[in-house]
């Protein structure tokens, strides 16, 4: 039976062959009846348990805090500490491997990653995981295709075209090469002429106006197919000592792949998206880069780019896209007398995949919102829908008069949200607090926020009512069971990450930012500012950051999977598809959320609110 030990499950998947042999030689098998106490509080554990069959409940203060299933292990922390702090009870008949404490200690001494994944806190586990993943990290070249890179348009000229005309073509189109078609042969042949040819002609003293390009053209054309991988294209360039290749599909020329563009794609594909956004002259021109943002997200995730980096990049790309869209729609006078802003997860820079658009418009108090402005706002909302940003169900969009008004009107509305709280008004306030200016007069948005901050100064009762939403919204009944798929109903394996943990973290930090008049909108930036002001315990802050990033990672992974299957992005994950390590990390993450909620209850005295 020990030969069947699953070394693909965490933390045993980081062991080398010699360490795996040690486990096989030391492991034993144990059986426990339903409701039998496997480990009790205060006992000194001598074994690490790895479940083969059945489920085990972890109980703390008469409350279930975790549930372990096949391939999960427990109680590593108790084993290292020398004393069990929780009770572990068999939920049903259990068969488990037992690994002696001496063997576990030997593995920990030989393999730091094993030790970190076994008993460390969330932050250390994620650091160990990150270090291990970096060993297998792959470059975007290994997955990306030539068709995904930026291809420059191919300019084709006849072989009898004179060099002066070619120079003018280079200048007018800002290009450095043309393809030359020689139809005097059968079949016709295609070559390439570059800026280097011009230099050779000048040095040779050739008359540009009478010298045909044919004499200086290289007809040994180097080509690749759009279905080739980028690393293959780069290999071709290196092999032939060229800086560009022609991309052909059968006999059709699709464009030119320049080495500088290929390297740019590897280093930062976003630069190509930004280039297309800035060069757009119509809203239709923006549709392509809008779609490429999603493709870029998938590419970066496949290549194990960290979620915070992806989120920051997407925030900037979306901002450029929205800013350019508004510039193409709104007249200059409107742009100068208003502030276009985004809110919610987009405003925080934590919306990676496209979800409901949340945006608004503040105008100067003496600026009249006429029919032309209303039409511009409607056109902007429709443009974003066309770009793949769905209409907000609550209509928190610039085409809604409630989110398109003067600074004074906005300020009064925001005050009412706080002074006359309803579930809807508190939700609106939370969304607005995350507002981030996209373009226009940013002072208009700042003035509204500063008026709000004045209202909440030293008003703990108002703050308590605001933060109390963590009690009603972030509720996921039975989510421990969902981690291990105990129910037969497929829907029982779905876990909404926003309700389970993201909302409590985001709204809790948002509430503390409101309390301390912090203008930053990103959750991480808010945490950094709270730490600078000594308003949040450092250890808890670090755990919150790691927890949020892990939940964002799971949500992105689940969303991309849904998109690949042609489904709408739900924000849910299927817990039955999580690896044992992901389940373990999710348990630790949700424990951090639980501790943070307790901290908020005490800090804002919610029991007395």
pLDDT tens readout for residues 322-340: 999 999 999 999 999 999 9
Residue 4 burial by Cβ neighbours in a 10 Å radius (0-12, 13-18, 19+): exposed
pLDDT value for 576: 78
Cβ atoms within 10 Å, residue 571: 17
Position with higher pLDDT, 267 vs 460: 460
Most confident of 146-160, 446-460, 523-537: 523-537
DSSP labels for 169-215? HHHHHT-SEEEEEETTSSS-EEEEEEHHHHHHHHHTT--TTT-BGGG
CA distance 590 to 593: 5
Q: Are 192 and 180 in contact (CB under 8 A)?
A: yes
Q: Is the pLDDT of residue 36 over 90?
A: yes
pLDDT tens, residue by residue, 422-434: 888 888 999 999 9
**What confidence score (pLDDT) does residue 548 get?**
95
Per the DSSP assignment, residues forming a β-bridge with 437 are 341
Instruction: Decide: 45 and 78 in contact? Cβ < 8 Å.
Output: yes
* 190 beta partners: 181
- The pLDDT value recorded for residue 596 is 96
Residue 134 confidence (pLDDT): 44
- Dihedral (Cα; 208, 212, 213, 217), 10-degree rounding: -130
Domain boundaries, the chain: 2-119, 142-267, 270-452, 467-608
For residues 123 and 547, what is the distance between their CA atoms, to the nearest angstrom? 8
Helices 503-515, 442-456: inter-axial angle, 10-degree rounding: 80
Confidence of residue 482 (pLDDT cuts 50, 70, 90): very low
Per-residue pLDDT, averaged over 373-396, amounts to: 94
Q: How confident is the model at residue 48 (pLDDT cuts 50, 70, 90)?
A: very high
In this predicted structure, the answer to whether residue 591 has a pLDDT above a threshold of 50 is yes
pLDDT of residue 486: 43
* pLDDT at residue 567, as a whole number: 83
What are the angstrom distances between the C-alpha of 173 and each of 154, 155, 163, 213? 11, 9, 15, 18
Looking at the chain, the whole-number percentage of residues with pLDDT higher than 70 is: 89
Higher pLDDT, 384 or 566: 384
Give pLDDT, residue 564. 79
Model confidence at 492, in pLDDT bands (50, 70, 90)? low
Beta bridge partners of 56: 68, 90
Where are the strands (E) in 294-367, listed by range? 338-342, 359-363
Quickly tell me which residue has 């085409």 as its tokens: 399
Rounded to whole angstroms, the Cα distance separating 443 from 441 reads 5
Q: Does pLDDT of 363 surpass 90?
A: yes
| Mean pLDDT of the 264-273 span | 62
Query: What are residue 257's DSSP bridge partners?
Result: 245
Backbone angles phi, psi at 137, to 5 degrees: -60, 140
Query: CATH topology for 2-119?
Result: Jelly Rolls (2.60.120)
Q: Is 0.85 surpassed by the pTM of this model? A: no
The residue ranking higher by pLDDT, 160 or 239, is 160
Is residue 429 a contact partner of residue 417, using CB atoms and an 8 Å limit? yes
Residue 71 has pLDDT above 60, yes or no: yes
Report how far apart the first and last C-alpha atoms of the chain are (Å, whole number): 57
Read off the pLDDT of each residue in 369-382 and give the average, rounded to a whole number.
Answer: 95
Residue 135 above 60 pLDDT? no
Residue 595: Cβ-neighbour burial (10 angstroms; 0-12, 13-18, 19+): middle
Task: For residues 142-163, give the mean pLDDT.
Answer: 85
* Pair 26, 75: CB distance under 8 Å: no
Q: How far apart are CA 114 and CA 95, in angstroms?
A: 23
- The DSSP bridge pattern shows strands 359-363 and 494-496 to be unpaired
- The CATH number of 142-267, from 3.20.20.150, 3.10.580.10, 3.40.50.2300, 3.40.50.150, is 3.10.580.10
Tokens linked to 46:
């001598």
In the predicted model, what is the mean pLDDT of the chain?
A: 85
Q: Residue 415 pLDDT > 80, yes or no?
A: yes
What percent of the chain has pLDDT above 90?
A: 47
Give the model's pLDDT for residue 540: 94
Residue 93 tokens, joined:
């008949």
Dump strand ranges (E) for 122-262. Answer: 156-158, 177-182, 189-194, 223-224, 244-249, 252-258
Question: Mean pLDDT over residues 406-417, rounded?
Answer: 93
Confidence class for position 139, pLDDT limits 50, 70, 90: very low
């Amino acid at each position: 039976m020990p030969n069947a030990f699953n070394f693909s499950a965490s933390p045993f998947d980081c062991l080398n062959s010699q360490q795996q042999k040690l486990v096989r030689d030391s492991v034993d098998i144990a059986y426990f009846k339903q409701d039998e106490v496997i480990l009790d509080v205060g006992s000194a554990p001598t074994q690490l348990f790895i479940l083969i069959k059945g489920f085990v409940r972890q109980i703390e203060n008469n409350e279930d805090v975790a549930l372990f299933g096949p391939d999960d292990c427990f109680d590593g922390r108790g084993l290292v500490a020398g004393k069990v702090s929780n009770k572990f009870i068999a939920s049903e008949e259990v068969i488990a491997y037992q690994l002696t404490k001496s063997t576990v200690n030997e593995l920990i001494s030989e393999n730091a990653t094993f030790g970190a994944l076994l008993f460390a806190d969330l932050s250390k586990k994620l650091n160990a995981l990150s270090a291990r993943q970096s060993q297998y990290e792959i470059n975007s070249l290994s997955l990306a295709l030539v068709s995904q890179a930026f291809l420059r348009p191919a300019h084709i000229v006849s072989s009898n075209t004179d060099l002066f005309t070619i120079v003018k073509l280079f200048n007018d189109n800002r290009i450095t090469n043309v393809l030359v078609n020689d139809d005097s042969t059968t079949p016709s042949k295609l070559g390439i002429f570059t800026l280097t040819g011009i230099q050779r002609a000048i040095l040779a003293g050739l008359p540009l106006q009478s010298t045909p390009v044919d004499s200086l053209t290289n007809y040994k054309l180097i080509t690749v197919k759009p279905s080739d991988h980028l690393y293959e294209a780069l290999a071709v360039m290196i092999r032939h000592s060229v800086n560009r290749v022609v991309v052909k599909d059968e006999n059709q020329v699709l464009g030119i792949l320049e080495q500088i563009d290929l390297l740019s794609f590897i280093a930062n594909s976003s630069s190509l998206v930004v280039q297309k956004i800035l060069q757009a002259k119509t809203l239709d021109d923006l549709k392509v880069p809008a779609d490429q943002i999603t493709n870029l997200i998938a590419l970066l995730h496949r290549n194990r780019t960290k979620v915070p980096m992806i989120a920051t990049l997407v925030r900037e790309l979306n901002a450029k896209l929205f800013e350019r869209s508004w510039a193409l729609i709104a007249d200059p006078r409107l742009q100068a007398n208003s502030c276009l802003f985004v809110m919610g997860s987009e405003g925080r820079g934590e919306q990676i995949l496209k979800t409901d658009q949340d945006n608004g418009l503040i105008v100067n108090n003496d600026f009249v919102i006429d029919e032309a402005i209303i039409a511009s706002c409607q056109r902007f909302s429709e443009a974003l829908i066309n770009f793949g940003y769905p209409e907000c169900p609550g209509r928190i969009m610039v085409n809604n008069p409630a989110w398109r008004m003067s600074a004074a009107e906005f300020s009064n509305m925001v005050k009412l949200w706080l002074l006359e709280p309803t579930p809807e008004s508190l939700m609106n306030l939370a969304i607005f607090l995350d507002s981030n200016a996209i373009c226009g007069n940013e002072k208009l948005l700042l003035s509204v926020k500063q008026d709000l901050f004045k209202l909440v100064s030293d008003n703990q009762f108002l703050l308590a009512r605001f933060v109390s939403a963590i009690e009603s919204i972030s509720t996921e009944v039975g989510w421990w069971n969902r981690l291990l798929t105990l129910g037969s109903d497929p829907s029982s394996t779905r876990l909404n990450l926003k309700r389970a943990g993201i909302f409590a973290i985001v709204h809790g930090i948002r509430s503390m930012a409101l309390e301390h008049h912090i203008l930053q909108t990103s959750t991480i930036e808010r945490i950094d500012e709270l730490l600078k002001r000594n308003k949040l315990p450092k250890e808890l802050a670090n755990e919150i950051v790691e927890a949020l990033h892990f939940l964002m990672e799971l949500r992105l992974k689940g969303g991309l999977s849904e998109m690949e299957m042609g489904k709408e992005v739900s924000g849910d994950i299927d817990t039955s598809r999580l690896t044992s390590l992901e389940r373990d990390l999710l348990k630790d993450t949700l424990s951090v959320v639980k501790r943070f909620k307790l901290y908020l209850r005490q800090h804002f005295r919610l029991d007395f609110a």
